[in-house]
Structures are given as C-alpha cells and as structure tokens.
Amino acid sequence: MFYQFAIIGTTASGKSDLAINVAQRLNAVILSLDSLCLYKEIDIASAKPKKDELELIRHFGIDLVSPDMEFCVGDFINEYNHALVYAKSQNIPLIITGGSGFYLKSMLSGLAPKIEPIKIEISDDEIWDLAMKIDREFCAKFSKNDKFRLRKWYQIYAQTSNIPSQWLRLNTGEPVIKNLTIFELVWDKFELIERIKIRTKNMLKNGLIDEAKDLFKRYNSALKPLNSIGLKETKEYLDGKIDIDELSNLITIHTTQLAKRQRTFNKSFNSIKIDGKNLNLDNFLAQISNSIN
C-alpha cells in the first residue's frame, strides 16, 4: 500500500540506518533529503549509504550530479516526484529522510520564485536594522546571525522593492506535500556528541583523506560541496595547516555546531519525537502504522 512519511534528525542521529531498517520491513523506497549525498564521488564525507545498502533498498536523491554541477530546490522537487511516481506505481511506501530540513520545508510550504543573487554592499547589521524597521514578521522568525536568510531577505527586498515576508506570501506556490507524518529521531546532546566523535573517527578510518585528495585534484576546491564539513577541514590538513589530531577535532566541533543548527531548524516541524537511545524497531513500526491509519 502506498503512503509516505518522513524521518528527520540531526547529523549522526542514525536516521539513515533507521530508514533502511524500516524500508526492509515495509518493502519501501527511500528519498534522501541529504544535500551532500546527491553529489557523485562524495561518499565518505556525506556518510552516504554503502553500496550494498543502495542495492538492497531503492534510493532516490543520491548520486544525481557531479560536484561541479548546480542543484536547486526545484531539482529536488523533481526528484521527489520521480520517487512518488515510482512508489505509487509499485504500491509501496515512500520514506523521506535526511538532515537537509530546508528541502522538506520547501515541499511543505511551497516553492518561492527564484531570486538571482546580487552583490550586497551593506553590512549584515545594516540589513538587520532595515528588516527591523519594515519586516518585523521576518525578524520574529529568524535570528540576526542567520546570514543565509538575512542576505536572501535583502536580495528579495532589493530586487522587488516589496516587504519580503509579504512578497513571499503572495508569490510562493502551493505546497508539494500537504499532509505528512514526520518522525524526529532525538538524542541527549552529550550522547549525540559522542556519536559524532565516533562518526568522525570512522570517516577518517574509511578513507576520508584519500577521497578529499582525489576530489581536490579533479575539481575546484572553491565549489560549495567541496567546502562542506569534513572536506573543508581535510583541505586544511592537506595544505599542511593542521595536523591529524586537529583535523579530527575540527570535524567533530563543526559537525556538533551543525547538529545544533539542525535541531533548532527541526523545531519548525510538527513532528513525533522518537528517543534514539531507547529506540525499538517493532514499537516504531507500530507508531508508523497508527499514524498512517
């Protein structure tokens, strides 16, 4: 029977492993929400499912483009539609999982028109002061330190001469998904840090440095995916700026910071919390069944 649900969580929370285990039990397919797994050749740094896991469970959203190719939310929605058509044709469940909550939020909220990037000649503080004067709705939702959204806000304002929050309300398309049960895998923050440390050690053990070395030989190191956590620190190591211990420590610190941002972002979803430490697969499957029915 076709139905769909999402499993979200911070990096290193175990959501991908859980999704694979659930998919095996439900004969489901998986759509990856991970913004790094969609790139070919970035396997270890993205914690991409292993080859045997990809052969075991049909995945969408993985190995779609090369690191030097553009990929946007609209492209992701196209991939979602491919997964949706496949799952419906097979009459099987679709599991949406990963750490890039922005993709999921875009599908649930509707896609805004594309705004071309422009050169910004004022400071972030000046942008924030302007937003406080004309768009309190934006300021109530986002932090002054959220540079990405702050600059996106200014780009909309500069190119439309409208209050961005109002402009987005009027110009955002209909949601791609209107009803979706979302499960969030949660951990105590100290336990999560330990999981991140283990994950970092495993990435280095499994060949992160060699993977990074090959990527930097073949592609421009300024590319966005090559500046993701794990790769940007390894570039410093390869350039002789840090030693191996500093490499491991920096990846752990930056991953922990990412997890904190993801945890904050995930609060915007109306999700069912699942305790990662005490997770029982049979109980979780029962929760899925109850939420769908």
| 16 belongs to an annotated ligand binding site | yes
| 172 belongs to an annotated ligand binding site | no
| 11 belongs to an annotated ligand binding site | yes
Pairing mode of beta strands 94-97, 59-60:
unpaired
Q: Give strand ranges (E) for the chain.
A: 4-9, 29-32, 59-60, 94-97, 181-186, 272-275
| 230 belongs to an annotated ligand binding site | no
Name the helix (H) or strand (E) containing 264.
helix 244-266
Q: Exposure of 174 by Cβ count < 10 A (0-12 exposed, 13-18 middle, 19+ buried)?
A: exposed
- Single out the residue of 211, 255, 218 nearest to residue 234, CA to CA: 211
How far apart CA 168 and CA 152 sit, in angstroms, is: 12
Phi and psi at 60, nearest 5°, equal -115, 155
| 6 belongs to an annotated ligand binding site | no
Q: Is 285 left (phi over 0), alpha (psi -120 to 50) or beta?
A: alpha
Cross-strand bridge partners of residue 184? 8, 273
How far apart CA 85 and CA 29 sit, in angstroms, is: 11
| 10 belongs to an annotated ligand binding site | yes
How far apart CA 151 and CA 15 sit, in angstroms, is: 31
| 14 belongs to an annotated ligand binding site | yes
Q: Exposure of 119 by Cβ count < 10 A (0-12 exposed, 13-18 middle, 19+ buried)?
A: exposed
| 267 belongs to an annotated ligand binding site | no
Name the binding residues for substrate: 11-16
Name the binding residues: 9-16
Name the binding residues for ATP: 9-16
